[in-house]
Amino acid sequence: MTQDFPDSPAGRALVAELSARWAEPHRRYHTTRHLTDVLAAIEPLRAHARDLRAVRLAAWFHDAVYDGRPGLDEERSAQLAQSRLTALGLPVAREVARLVRVTATHSYHPDDGNAAVLCDADLAVLGQSPERYDAYAEAVRHEYRHVPDPLFRVGRAEVLRRLLGGSLYGTETARDLWEEQARRNLARELRHITD
């Protein structure tokens, strides 16, 4: 899981820093479990990536800064990646920061295999069992507990409709693995919150 970081005191210190960030007590979904799930989901998609190391490092950084502020969290996470990886002398720093920024919108060029793999792995949870999906949805709601329920339902319904209205996954492998179940899960949640 940490094989992409330099085996040095600075590399180990960065892994420790990132691990601590992912374990912050205010997180409910964007936790160490999400990180390990994303890293695991990358593996069956690896053939689609141009630079697998960059994708895996981007997974480590993609929610390293998480305060529940979409867009700003990803930007701050990308800046952290650029800073820390540059300090380690890793030429992949710029690509990792770019990939982290892509996770803010999950919008990328169809030929961008690195972004497709990272985004597909990030959304793999959508295509898991109904029980696992429900735990994800509940954890997301908990992270947005400061948002009143009526406003959350409106916003969440908008997100679900947007997801259902487009292509969920950018790689054929992810579509084969998760698309059908993801659409069922999303539609079920949408029915539940709009009833």
Q: Apex CA 41: angle with CA 184 and CA 70, to 5°?
A: 75
Kindly report, residue by residue over 135-150, the tens digit of the pLDDT: 999 999 999 898 999 9
Whole-angstrom distance, CA of residue 99 vs CA of residue 77: 10
> What are the structural domain ranges in the chain?
1-111, 123-195
Tokens standing for residue 178:
């998760």
pLDDT at 68: 82
Whole-angstrom distance, CA of residue 179 vs CA of residue 161: 15
- Asked if residues 110 and 82 have their Cβ atoms less than 8 Å apart, the reply is no
- Asked if residues 100 and 92 have their Cβ atoms less than 8 Å apart, the reply is no
pLDDT at 194: 92
pLDDT at 1: 73
Please tell me whether the overall predicted TM-score, pTM, comes out greater than 0.85 for this model: yes
What's the average pLDDT block by block, 10 residues per block, for the chain (195 residues)? Answer: 92 97 95 97 98 98 92 96 97 98 96 98 98 96 92 96 95 98 98 92
